[in-house]
Amino acid sequence: MNKKIWILSAALLCVAVCGCSRQEEAAAPEADANQTSSVAQYVGKYEGFLPAASGPGIQTSLTLEEDGTFVWVSDYVGEQASVFTEKGPYTISGDIATLEVPGEGTRYARLESGSLRLLDQNQAPITGALADMYVLGKVN
pTM assigned to the model: 0.72
Each domain of the chain, given as residue ranges in start order, spans 1-41, 43-138
Q: In whole angstroms, what is the distance from residue 96 CA to residue 115 CA?
A: 12
The CATH label, of 3.40.1410.10, 2.40.128.640, 3.30.390.30, 3.40.1710.10, for the domain at 43-138 is 2.40.128.640
pLDDT in tens, the chain (140 residues): 433 333 333 333 333 334 444 444 444 455 445 455 567 888 999 999 999 988 899 999 999 999 999 999 999 998 887 899 999 999 999 999 999 999 999 999 999 988 999 999 999 999 999 999 999 999 97
